[in-house]
């Protein structure tokens, strides 16, 4: 079973034993989570084990990244079950702090803001969400001091923001993006999937199916014939007809630049470009995220 720590001081003391002399130093990886773990989280731990000697999994439902009216109070907290699952993938440490341990003052007067990248996509409907992500991830990096940290690509914007924070704050940490883990019918695994009713769960795979359809249209060059906007309009209509309420459906460069910007044009490779289709949509109580990378021809 992994060793469980609820206090910063005891976790730091435990990890210090691995930092020794250079010839005996062991690589530490961090996998940040909010708990209520599923197979997608366990895949993050498995990937971390491939890149490090010691894996620390944090379990903390972070209040600073929840907005007013969001599901902070009802977010599932299942520490005992989470620890049992982590034992099956050989996680070494679990860091499960209290809110008071992480935030002596709440809300914290200090913030970590990543600028313009946070104002698009999820940032439009959750304007303070990524400020909360920024401070909690920065604190975890300082507490654990890992050489490696693993994040899922399902939260594509979050991953891009964390990569930017690591670059700009000069954290000596390698950020690894883990591929999306999906159910057999294609639905991206998420703790919030449990909010779906049985009927909604049957509908939910439509989201990924429509991303795949749009990706195929782009690969076939249909955006060159009729423009990107009509393809997005048609995709939005099909998703809406399936009873989703769309937050956003957009196509960006892989670096999350808008396609119209000079920055995007400057990154073109000949007449091809790697793009990412991103979607967030409500189905009942569940806000579902998904994305699909695709390489396309550009005019």
Residues flagged as binding site for beta-alanine: 65
Annotated binding-site positions: 34-41, 65, 152-155, 158, 181, 189-192
pLDDT at site 22: 66
Residue 52 lies in a domain: yes
Tens digit of pLDDT per residue, the chain (299 long)? Answer: 999 999 999 999 999 999 876 666 899 999 999 999 999 999 999 999 999 999 999 999 999 999 888 989 989 999 999 999 999 999 999 999 999 999 999 999 999 999 999 999 999 999 889 999 999 999 999 999 999 999 999 999 999 999 999 999 999 999 999 999 999 999 999 999 999 999 999 999 999 999 999 999 999 988 888 889 999 999 999 999 999 999 999 999 999 998 863 333 334 344 778 999 999 999 999 999 999 999 987 66
Q: How many domains does the chain have?
A: 2
Asked if residue 186 belongs to a domain, the reply is: no
Q: Which of 60, 74, 63, 79 is nearest to 1 (CA)?
A: 79
Alpha-carbon distances, residue 24 vs 15, 29, 66 (angstroms): 13, 16, 41
Position 61 in a domain: yes
User: What pTM was computed for the model?
Assistant: 0.91
Q: From the candidates 6, 7, 41, 129, give the one annotated as an active-site residue.
A: 41
The domain boundary residue, chosen from 142, 157, 178? 178
**Annotated catalytic, 41?**
yes
At 183, list the tokens.
Answer: 């159910």
- The CATH code of the domain that includes 159 is 3.40.50.620
Domain boundary among 150, 178, 206: 178
Whether 172 and 269 share a structural domain:
no
Produce one character per residue of 130-160: b if its CB has 16 or more CB atoms within 10 Å, e if not: bbbbbbbbbbbbebbbbbbbbbbbbbbbbbb
**Boundaries of domain holding 98:** 3-178
CB-CB contact of 62 with 22 (8 Å): no
Domain-embedded: residue 183: no
Q: What is the pLDDT of residues 78-125, one digit of tens each?
A: 999 999 999 999 999 999 999 999 999 999 999 999 999 999 999 999
Contact 53, 81 (CB under 8 A): no
Residue 112's pLDDT is 95
Q: Write the pLDDT tens digit of every residue in 152-166.
A: 999 999 999 999 999
- Binding-site positions for (R)-pantoate: 65, 158
Structure tokens at 246: 């769309």
């Amino acid at each position: 079973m992994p060793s469980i720590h609820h206090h910063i001081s005891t976790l730091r003391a435990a990890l210090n034993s691995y930092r020794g002399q250079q010839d005996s130093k062991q690589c530490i990886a961090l996998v940040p989570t909010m708990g209520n773990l599923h197979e997608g989280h366990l895949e993050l731990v498995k990937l971390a084990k491939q890149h490090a000697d010691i894996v620390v999994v944090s379990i903390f439902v972070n209040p600073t990244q929840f907005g007013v009216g969001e599901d902070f109070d009802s977010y599932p907290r299942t520490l005992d079950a989470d620890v049992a699952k982590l034992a099956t993938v050989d996680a070494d440490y679990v860091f499960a702090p209290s809110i008071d341990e992480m935030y002596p003052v709440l809300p914290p007067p200090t913030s970590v803001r990543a600028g313009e990248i946070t104002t698009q996509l999820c940032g439009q409907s959750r304007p303070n969400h990524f400020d909360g992500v920024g401070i909690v991830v920065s604190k975890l990096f300082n507490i654990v001091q890992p050489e490696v940290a693993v994040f899922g690509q399902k939260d594509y914007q979050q991953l891009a923001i964390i990569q930017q924070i690591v670059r700009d704050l000069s954290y000596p940490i390698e950020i690894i993006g883990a591929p999306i883990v999906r159910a057999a019918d294609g639905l991206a695994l998420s703790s919030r999937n449990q909010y779906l009713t049985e009927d909604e769960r049957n509908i939910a795979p439509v989201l990924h199916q429509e991303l795949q359809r749009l990706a195929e249209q782009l690969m076939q060059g249909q955006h060159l014939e009729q423009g990107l906007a009509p393809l997005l309009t048609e995709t939005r209509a099909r998703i809406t007809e399936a009873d989703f309420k769309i937050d956003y459906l957009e196509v960006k460069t892989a670096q999350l630049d808008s396609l119209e910007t000079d920055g995007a044009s400057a990154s073109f490779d000949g007449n091809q470009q790697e793009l990412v289709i991103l979607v967030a949509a409500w189905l009942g109580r569940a806000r579902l995220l998904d994305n699909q990378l695709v390489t396309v021809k550009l005019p």
